[in-house]
Amino acid sequence: MPFIDLQTQYAALKSSVNARIQRVLDHGQYIMGPEVKELEAALAAHAGTAHCITVASGTEALLIAMMALDVKPGDEIITTPFTFAATAETIVLLGAVPVFVDIEPDTCNIDPRAIEAAIGPRTRAILPVSLYGQVADMDEINAIAARHGLAVIEDAAQSFGARYKDRRSCGLSTWGATSFFPSKPLGCYGDGGALFTNDAALAQAAREIRVHGQSQRYTHTRVGVGGRMDTLQCAVVLAKLERFDWELEQRLAIGARYQQRLAELPVQRLAVRPDRDCVWAQFTVLLRDAAQRTAVQASLQAQGIPTAIHYPRPLHQQPVYTAYAPTWALPHSEAAAQRVISLPMSADLSAADQDRVVAALGEALAGARD
């Protein structure tokens, strides 16, 4: 079985995807074609924001969000070390400083109680990650940001479509930044991403930065990037949106079924807060320690079950970012990196395959008991 099943999805959407791609080939506007605006309107409606700006990738979305906020060298951005490298890499690319604070051990999302102590005179923004598809504690984070005059950028690369109270991921703060990397909950067939905001001036800034800082053609009023999402990829996402709400329901149901079945096994399940859902970009559980994880992963592989580790090392322990290790300890991030394992997950995961995964995990755990 695949770790993420994109073939069944393509089979279900084949005529729409192919027709959408054919239409782009026929009109030939490969850059900033009509599908770009069409997708931006559809995504803004889905996330519940006034503005959506598609960009070249989730990484580019984070970068452009911070450029639009005029993040400068030496500015500090408070974030989590238990995430994909892009979260911190974009901060460092701008000469700013990632200030890592620890996660909650049960959700693996940034702990808002750790944020306030990390705020200093150079703090410019807070960058929580809605990890695995569960929105971080955005109301608490927004309240802290408001008290200190900070911007909040939600790294929503894994959480597009996730609900938080009566709202959706990406529409919860100054900026929401998502990714359409093929394996994300809403993916394209290459690289793509999007930014979301209710602030018209920030949206305009991002639109200009996306095309080399042009306010009009060949009038460069700011430093920008080549950050557009191409028309073909927008066409693919438009086709995928036809099935996306069904897929979200499937993801929630499959995630709930995993959680229920795994209650019988000696693993720690991720906590999902009652006021939000998790769209399970990754279906991740916590094992006892790294040694048990190595044994379990090998056993699952031998039984034909692919797994992955998101993420094996927190960013403050990555060779290139050790200079940003804070003076305080990050025990929960370090423990999670030793203990997490992700199981096969996608909207098209069958109950039979899911049963096989759970049974294989049970056997693996029994074999790895000591």
Q: Report yes or no: 97 and 77 within 8 Å, Cβ to Cβ.
A: yes
Site string for ligand PLP, 186-205 (x = CB under 6 A): -----x-x------------
Angle of helix 231-262 versus helix 7-27 axis, rounded to 10: 170
State residue 175 phi and psi, 5-degree precision: -135, 145
SS3 157: coil
Nearer to ligand PLP, 157 or 345 (CB): 157
Query: Is 336 one of the binding residues for ligand PLP (CB under 6 A)?
Result: no
Query: Is 57 one of the binding residues for ligand PLP (CB under 6 A)?
Result: yes
Nearer to ligand PLP, 134 or 297 (CB): 134
Cα separation, 231 vs 61, whole angstroms: 17
Closest chain position to ligand PLP (CB): 58
Nearer to ligand PLP, 9 or 87 (CB): 87
Query: Is 345 one of the binding residues for ligand PLP (CB under 6 A)?
Result: no
Query: Is 342 one of the binding residues for ligand PLP (CB under 6 A)?
Result: no
Site string for ligand PLP, 119-158 (x = CB under 6 A): ----------x-------------------------x-xx
Query: Is 314 one of the binding residues for ligand PLP (CB under 6 A)?
Result: no
Question: Residues 157, 66, 31, CA angle at the centre, nearest 5°?
Answer: 70
Cα separation, 256 vs 250, whole angstroms: 10
Q: Report yes or no: 284 and 341 within 8 Å, Cβ to Cβ.
A: yes
Residue 346's contacts (CB-CB under 8 Å, 6 or more residues apart) are 2, 4, 5, 6, 8, 9
Piece of the chain touching ligand PLP by CB under 6 A; list 52-60, 263-271, 286-294, 358-366:
52-60
Q: How far is the CB of 280 from ligand PLP (least distance, A)?
A: 13
Enumerate binding residues for ligand PLP (CB under 6 A).
Answer: 57-59, 83-84, 86-87, 129, 155, 157-158, 179, 181, 191, 193
